[in-house]
Structure 1
Amino acid sequence: MRVVVSADIGEWNRQLARCGRFDVYHLAEYHRTAEKLGEGEALLLVFEAEGEVAALPLLRRPLWTLSGLEDVRLYDAASAYGYPGLLCSCDIDSPAAERFRREFQESLDEALRSLEIVSFFGRQHPLIDTAWLWGDAYAPLGPTVAIDLTRSEQSQWSEMRSNHRRDIRRAEREGVVVVEDTTLRRLDEFRRIYEETMRTVGAASQYFFSEAYYRSLRENLGRRIKLFFAEYEGRPVAAAMFFLCGRIIQYHLGGTDELGRDRLRSPIKAIFDHVRRWGKAADYHWLHLGGGLGARRDSLYRFKAGFTKNEFTFGVVRKIVDAAAYRELVAKRCGKTEGDCEEGYFPAYRRPINALRAA
């Protein structure tokens, strides 16, 4: 298995192309953003066999940055934010699929051990199904939705929930207009609206991003970013950021301010409708809206599902590479067993130690 670093952008992205389908979250440029913000060392692991190829992007993270593990000289790995899951050119129905899967897993274990990685947490891409390569390490979490832009305009519109259609028409009547910031100079305005929305819904800290994050996205992804605002009487009342890659439009972040929520009935719907129509005209195949917070069927998911009935599964990978080292890390940081760390978290040693034990 080969290891490609993010500085080698051309080689990294060439290996993605060999896999067939990929998205913006797989790109070297996207991983350079995560790397620049100190989230880990970006690596692409590339496996080849029987004329087929698999590629796994990840962030290698030092464990000695965690309290209680300062003397540990090991790493773990995780996906960057979004859906940068495993890619593969081999089809599950191929006669060579099972042999490819087995050899991939053996090679991956060897590569992760050589990189001194104890565990890996991965986020699979809902539109690119490679879960079969992971076996028991894969677990489905919840649904996401995507609009099929290859369908006719009438078909897309009729599939939309009636209240969404009504609110889009109402926004147009009331003078809401959708404008694109082609220069990305309004990122501060976007961030204000987005963070207001996250505070309103009680989002966890992981959904808030620094100024450096947005600046790095602009520097690394520039032409792949589409930034739209819904404006009412010259004031921005909703905003949304999208990524472009191949035939996929990926909704990344967005929000609506207080006026938009209370007076205009969620004008971000007008943005989604605008991008849907623009994407079809530009020959994109999917507008992926994502799912709810934490992959739950919450109000955010229900809002997105009002645009389409096309549902996909978002899943994660939880892989322990070195079981003995993993147990030692859990004991060292959390107590004698994994149960002393808060439940439902992987890897367990990265979960904040519960208040009872801390006291």
Structure 2
Amino acid sequence: MTKTLFIQDKLEWNAYVSKAAEYDFGHTWHYHMLDTSGTPLLFIYENNDGFIGLPLIKRPIPDSAYFDLTSVYGFTGPISSFAMHCVPESLMSEFKSAFIRFLDDGKFITVFSRLHPVFQQTNILQQFGGLYDNGLSVVIDLSIDNDVRRKNYRDTSYHRIKQAWKKGFTVKEEKGPMAVATFSSIYLENMELVGASASYMFNEEYISKLIDTDEYDARILTVYDGDTAIASTVITFTNGIIEAYLVGTRNDYRKHSPAKLLVDEICVLGNKLGMKYYNLGGGLGFKQDSLFSWKASFSDLFLPYSTWRYIANPTAYNALLDERGIDKNSDLDFFPLYRSACMNEQAHVK
């Protein structure tokens, strides 16, 4: 049995997510409701054994009769009633056949999905082809005792945390409009400093909606130097996983690295709440750059991060490239290539 759920199908969408053996906040109805780039949908294939679902965003392809599918900002990929490493071969095979029919009937040319580093989702998607190894994500194991975990910190990071303690910096969990305004002010100041693109400029309205849900636990934590807010983060707690969603530091306090104190305090909180992992993500474009090194100073647990870049209709795909004068053999890390001229519609890795 196949079905496609849309935003109006909130209860059924949530029912499937809650029945999944492994999922994160990026799979929820609420998070997809926030996306304005296209039409959110959840494709489901189900038999007597169980189900496989795949949340996606449907988008029309400009100047054509076709569509493509992408994923929301962050980590998603398929969900199932089975843990990813336990999905029966028969269910995976039937899902593949059903999904290919769905793509053909819907005139979908390509599918792009950012996979979750904690889940073994490639087990389901490898039968299609189109899997790409994008790099590594830094993950902290929260089952480890706090004192033992801190011994795994790089000396420079632990020194910064100790300095923050000595300076009297404090971390507060805050709620309400003022907490959102404080976070947004710090975050946007940070994004402007690094020259981030418009797609990363999340405003107060978006943050307010993001945290206003009972489908996952989203919190704002802020570091204070006395009465001055100097760093802040939005994190999510879902099904045993903490996600470092957004974080920012006041420019005047960057030299003190208060975000390192945030990471440590979040680990302590996660350990207390019985969470399994704190996913910090990777470097810019998931390269092993200075950002990756900063994150790796807290943990040596690196998990592979993959994307799924599937071409469902190669003939139509190549025709679109020809029409737009794009070399199909380009080494540009961008998918689908026919959208590469529209940089504001980026579909490459987060």
In 2 relative to 1, CA 24–91 (structure 1 residues): closer, same or farther, beyond 3 Å? Answer: closer
Residue 198 of structure 2 is aligned to residue 198 of structure 1: no
- State the distance in 2 between where 1:276 and 1:182 align: 20
Q: Aligned partner of 2:328: which letter?
A: E
Question: Post-superposition shift, 1:238?
Answer: 0.7
Aligned to 2:57: 59
In 2 relative to 1, CA 180–336 (structure 1 residues): closer, same or farther, beyond 3 Å? Answer: closer
Q: Aligned partner of 1:270: which letter?
A: L
**Residues 113 and 307 of structure 2 are in contact (CA less than 8 Å); yes or no, is this contact kept in structure 1?**
yes
- Return the match for 1:137 from 99, 118, 130: 130
Q: TM (normalized to structure 2)?
A: 0.90
**Residues 57 and 70 of structure 2 are in contact (CA less than 8 Å); yes or no, is this contact kept in structure 1?**
yes
**Residues 18 and 53 of structure 1 are in contact (CA less than 8 Å); yes or no, is this contact kept in structure 2?**
no
**Residues 342 and 351 of structure 1 are in contact (CA less than 8 Å); yes or no, is this contact kept in structure 2?**
no
Question: Post-superposition shift, 1:92?
Answer: 6.4
Aligned to 2:98: 107
- State the distance in 1 between where 2:27 and 2:125 align: 18
Aligned to 1:76: 68
Aligned to 2:313: 322
In 2 relative to 1, CA 214–289 (structure 1 residues): closer, same or farther, beyond 3 Å? Answer: same
- Ranges of 4+ aligned residues in structure 1 off by more than 6 Å: none
Residue 38 of structure 2 is aligned to residue 46 of structure 1: no
Aligned to 1:31: 32
Equivalent pairs counted in the alignment come to 340
After superposing the two structures, state which structure 1 stretch, 206-215 or 120-129, moved more: 206-215
Question: Post-superposition shift, 1:155?
Answer: 1.7
In 2 relative to 1, CA 330–168 (structure 1 residues): closer, same or farther, beyond 3 Å? Answer: same
**Residues 342 and 353 of structure 1 are in contact (CA less than 8 Å); yes or no, is this contact kept in structure 2?**
no
Question: Post-superposition shift, 1:58?
Answer: 0.3
In 2 relative to 1, CA 331–349 (structure 1 residues): closer, same or farther, beyond 3 Å? Answer: same
Question: Post-superposition shift, 1:222?
Answer: 8.5
**Residues 51 and 91 of structure 2 are in contact (CA less than 8 Å); yes or no, is this contact kept in structure 1?**
no
Question: Post-superposition shift, 1:353?
Answer: 7.1
Aligned to 1:338: 328
Q: TM (normalized to structure 1)?
A: 0.88
Which residues of 2 match residues 296-311 of structure 1 at below 5 A? 296-311=287-302
Unaligned runs of 5+ in 1: 355-359
Question: Post-superposition shift, 1:221?
Answer: 6.1
Which residues of 2 match residues 64-213 of structure 1 at below 5 A? 64=62, 69=63, 72-90=64-82, 97-135=88-126, 136-213=129-206
Question: Post-superposition shift, 1:86?
Answer: 1.2
Paired residue secondary structure (1:21):
coil
Aligned to 1:10: 11
- State the distance in 2 between where 1:298 and 1:192 align: 26
**Residues 211 and 219 of structure 2 are in contact (CA less than 8 Å); yes or no, is this contact kept in structure 1?**
no
In 2 relative to 1, CA 91–189 (structure 1 residues): closer, same or farther, beyond 3 Å? Answer: closer
- State the distance in 2 between where 1:197 and 1:93 align: 39
Computed over aligned residues only, the root mean square deviation of the Cα atoms, in angstroms, reads: 2.2
In 2 relative to 1, CA 316–266 (structure 1 residues): closer, same or farther, beyond 3 Å? Answer: same
